[in-house]
Amino acid sequence: MDKKVTLHDKTFKLFIPNEAIEKAIDDVAAKLNEDYADATDEDPVIVLCTLNGAIIFAAELLKRLQFPLMLKACKLSSYAGTQSTGYIKTEVPLPAKLEGHRVLIVEDIVDTGNTIVVMKDLLDAAKVRDSKVCTLLLKPEAYKKDVKLDYVAMEIPNRFIVGFGLDYDELGRNIKDIYVLDE
Protein backbone atom coordinates (compact mmCIF):
# COMPACT_ATOMS: atom_id res chain seq x y z
CA MET A 1 0.00 0.00 0.00
CA ASP A 2 1.29 3.47 -0.90
CA LYS A 3 2.02 5.80 1.96
CA LYS A 4 0.05 9.04 1.69
CA VAL A 5 -0.34 12.19 3.76
CA THR A 6 -2.96 14.91 3.61
CA LEU A 7 -2.03 18.52 4.34
CA HIS A 8 -4.75 21.15 4.26
CA ASP A 9 -6.76 20.31 1.12
CA LYS A 10 -4.13 18.26 -0.75
CA THR A 11 -2.98 14.65 -0.68
CA PHE A 12 0.64 13.66 -1.26
CA LYS A 13 2.16 10.24 -1.96
CA LEU A 14 5.57 8.91 -0.98
CA PHE A 15 8.23 10.08 -3.44
CA ILE A 16 11.69 9.79 -1.82
CA PRO A 17 12.16 7.63 1.28
CA ASN A 18 14.31 8.96 4.09
CA GLU A 19 17.03 6.36 3.47
CA ALA A 20 17.64 7.75 -0.05
CA ILE A 21 17.71 11.32 1.30
CA GLU A 22 20.26 10.37 3.97
CA LYS A 23 22.47 8.64 1.37
CA ALA A 24 22.39 11.74 -0.85
CA ILE A 25 23.37 13.90 2.13
CA ASP A 26 26.25 11.53 2.94
CA ASP A 27 27.51 11.88 -0.63
CA VAL A 28 27.31 15.68 -0.78
CA ALA A 29 28.91 15.98 2.69
CA ALA A 30 31.86 13.86 1.55
CA LYS A 31 32.44 16.24 -1.38
CA LEU A 32 32.15 19.30 0.89
CA ASN A 33 34.63 17.78 3.35
CA GLU A 34 37.12 17.38 0.50
CA ASP A 35 36.59 20.87 -0.89
CA TYR A 36 36.74 22.67 2.47
CA ALA A 37 39.51 20.59 4.06
CA ASP A 38 41.66 23.74 4.17
CA ALA A 39 39.24 25.61 6.49
CA THR A 40 40.73 26.57 9.86
CA ASP A 41 39.48 27.92 13.17
CA GLU A 42 40.84 31.31 12.07
CA ASP A 43 39.21 31.01 8.63
CA PRO A 44 36.04 28.95 9.07
CA VAL A 45 33.44 28.47 6.36
CA ILE A 46 30.18 30.30 7.03
CA VAL A 47 27.30 27.91 6.43
CA LEU A 48 24.30 30.10 5.57
CA CYS A 49 21.05 28.21 6.10
CA THR A 50 18.08 29.57 4.19
CA LEU A 51 15.13 29.47 6.56
CA ASN A 52 12.70 27.78 7.00
CA GLY A 53 12.90 24.94 4.50
CA ALA A 54 16.61 24.19 4.71
CA ILE A 55 16.67 23.74 8.50
CA ILE A 56 16.27 19.96 8.35
CA PHE A 57 18.79 19.54 5.52
CA ALA A 58 21.28 21.88 7.21
CA ALA A 59 20.98 20.01 10.52
CA GLU A 60 21.65 16.66 8.85
CA LEU A 61 24.45 18.10 6.71
CA LEU A 62 26.19 19.78 9.66
CA LYS A 63 26.42 16.46 11.52
CA ARG A 64 28.54 15.15 8.63
CA LEU A 65 30.81 18.16 8.04
CA GLN A 66 34.32 17.80 9.44
CA PHE A 67 35.79 21.28 8.88
CA PRO A 68 35.61 24.44 11.00
CA LEU A 69 32.42 26.36 10.27
CA MET A 70 30.05 28.97 11.64
CA LEU A 71 26.30 28.56 11.19
CA LYS A 72 24.27 31.62 10.18
CA ALA A 73 20.76 32.00 8.79
CA CYS A 74 18.66 34.24 6.59
CA LYS A 75 15.20 33.99 5.10
CA LEU A 76 14.14 34.91 1.60
CA SER A 77 10.81 33.62 0.35
CA SER A 78 8.91 33.47 -2.90
CA TYR A 79 6.25 30.79 -2.41
CA ALA A 80 2.54 31.11 -1.68
CA GLY A 81 0.72 27.79 -1.51
CA THR A 82 2.08 25.51 -4.25
CA GLN A 83 3.38 28.23 -6.60
CA SER A 84 6.34 30.56 -6.70
CA THR A 85 5.18 34.17 -6.73
CA GLY A 86 8.25 35.29 -8.68
CA TYR A 87 8.73 38.03 -6.07
CA ILE A 88 11.52 37.58 -3.50
CA LYS A 89 10.75 38.87 -0.02
CA THR A 90 13.49 39.27 2.61
CA GLU A 91 12.09 38.16 5.94
CA VAL A 92 15.39 37.67 7.82
CA PRO A 93 18.30 39.64 6.31
CA LEU A 94 21.83 38.35 5.78
CA PRO A 95 23.91 38.31 8.95
CA ALA A 96 26.51 41.01 9.50
CA LYS A 97 30.26 40.50 9.19
CA LEU A 98 30.37 38.29 6.11
CA GLU A 99 33.01 40.36 4.34
CA GLY A 100 36.10 38.36 3.40
CA HIS A 101 34.60 34.99 4.37
CA ARG A 102 33.82 31.91 2.32
CA VAL A 103 30.07 31.30 2.44
CA LEU A 104 28.26 28.06 1.71
CA ILE A 105 24.57 28.70 1.01
CA VAL A 106 22.52 25.71 2.16
CA GLU A 107 19.19 25.56 0.35
CA ASP A 108 16.40 22.99 0.55
CA ILE A 109 15.30 23.18 -3.09
CA VAL A 110 16.16 25.14 -6.21
CA ASP A 111 13.50 25.38 -8.89
CA THR A 112 13.14 28.80 -10.58
CA GLY A 113 16.42 29.93 -9.01
CA ASN A 114 15.10 33.42 -8.28
CA THR A 115 16.02 33.17 -4.60
CA ILE A 116 19.56 31.94 -5.36
CA VAL A 117 20.18 34.84 -7.78
CA VAL A 118 19.09 37.38 -5.14
CA MET A 119 21.13 35.61 -2.45
CA LYS A 120 24.30 35.61 -4.58
CA ASP A 121 23.80 39.32 -5.38
CA LEU A 122 23.42 40.09 -1.66
CA LEU A 123 26.58 38.13 -0.84
CA ASP A 124 28.51 39.93 -3.59
CA ALA A 125 27.37 43.24 -2.11
CA ALA A 126 28.52 42.02 1.33
CA LYS A 127 31.98 41.46 -0.21
CA VAL A 128 32.34 37.80 0.68
CA ARG A 129 35.50 36.14 -0.57
CA ASP A 130 33.63 33.27 -2.18
CA SER A 131 30.10 31.88 -2.17
CA LYS A 132 28.91 28.47 -3.23
CA VAL A 133 25.48 26.88 -3.33
CA CYS A 134 24.60 23.51 -1.79
CA THR A 135 21.04 22.32 -2.33
CA LEU A 136 19.30 19.16 -1.25
CA LEU A 137 17.06 19.19 -4.32
CA LEU A 138 17.21 20.64 -7.82
CA LYS A 139 14.43 20.77 -10.40
CA PRO A 140 16.54 21.00 -13.59
CA GLU A 141 13.45 21.48 -15.80
CA ALA A 142 12.60 24.68 -13.91
CA TYR A 143 16.11 26.06 -13.29
CA LYS A 144 17.20 28.37 -16.12
CA LYS A 145 19.53 30.78 -14.30
CA ASP A 146 23.26 31.31 -14.90
CA VAL A 147 24.22 30.97 -11.23
CA LYS A 148 26.25 27.79 -10.74
CA LEU A 149 24.89 25.27 -8.27
CA ASP A 150 28.05 23.82 -6.78
CA TYR A 151 26.61 20.92 -4.78
CA VAL A 152 23.34 19.17 -5.65
CA ALA A 153 22.34 16.19 -3.53
CA MET A 154 19.41 15.06 -5.73
CA GLU A 155 17.68 16.08 -8.96
CA ILE A 156 13.91 15.70 -9.17
CA PRO A 157 11.15 16.42 -11.72
CA ASN A 158 9.30 19.73 -11.61
CA ARG A 159 6.57 18.58 -9.22
CA PHE A 160 5.32 20.01 -5.92
CA ILE A 161 6.76 18.19 -2.91
CA VAL A 162 6.62 18.30 0.88
CA GLY A 163 8.54 16.77 3.75
CA PHE A 164 12.11 16.89 5.04
CA GLY A 165 11.79 20.64 5.65
CA LEU A 166 9.60 21.44 2.64
CA ASP A 167 6.07 22.62 3.30
CA TYR A 168 2.65 23.25 1.89
CA ASP A 169 1.38 26.44 3.55
CA GLU A 170 3.68 25.76 6.54
CA LEU A 171 2.60 22.13 7.11
CA GLY A 172 4.64 19.01 6.38
CA ARG A 173 8.15 20.20 7.24
CA ASN A 174 8.46 17.56 9.99
CA ILE A 175 7.78 14.56 7.72
CA LYS A 176 10.99 12.51 7.44
CA ASP A 177 10.38 11.34 3.85
CA ILE A 178 9.60 13.47 0.79
CA TYR A 179 6.12 13.28 -0.68
CA VAL A 180 4.85 14.46 -4.06
CA LEU A 181 1.43 15.96 -4.81
CA ASP A 182 -0.92 13.11 -5.73
CA GLU A 183 -2.70 14.37 -8.82
On whether residue 173 sits in a domain, the answer given is no
pLDDT tens for 13-56 read 999 999 999 999 999 999 999 999 999 999 999 999 998 999 99
Q: Which residue has the higher pLDDT, 165 or 95?
A: 165
Q: Write the CATH number for 147.
A: 3.40.50.2020
pLDDT tens for 62-88 read 999 999 999 999 988 765 555 666 677
On whether residue 103 sits in a domain, the answer given is yes
> Does residue 111 have an active-site annotation?
yes
Number of domains forming the structure of the chain: 1
Cβ(55)–Cβ(48) below 8 Å: no
Q: Determine the structural domain holding residue 58 and report its residue range.
A: 19-32+43-156
126-152 core/surface letters (b: 16 or more CB in 10 A; e: else) = bebeebbbbbbbbbeeebeeebebbbb
**Annotated catalytic residue, options 108, 111, 167, 177:** 111
On whether residue 161 sits in a domain, the answer given is no
pTM flag (> 0.85): yes
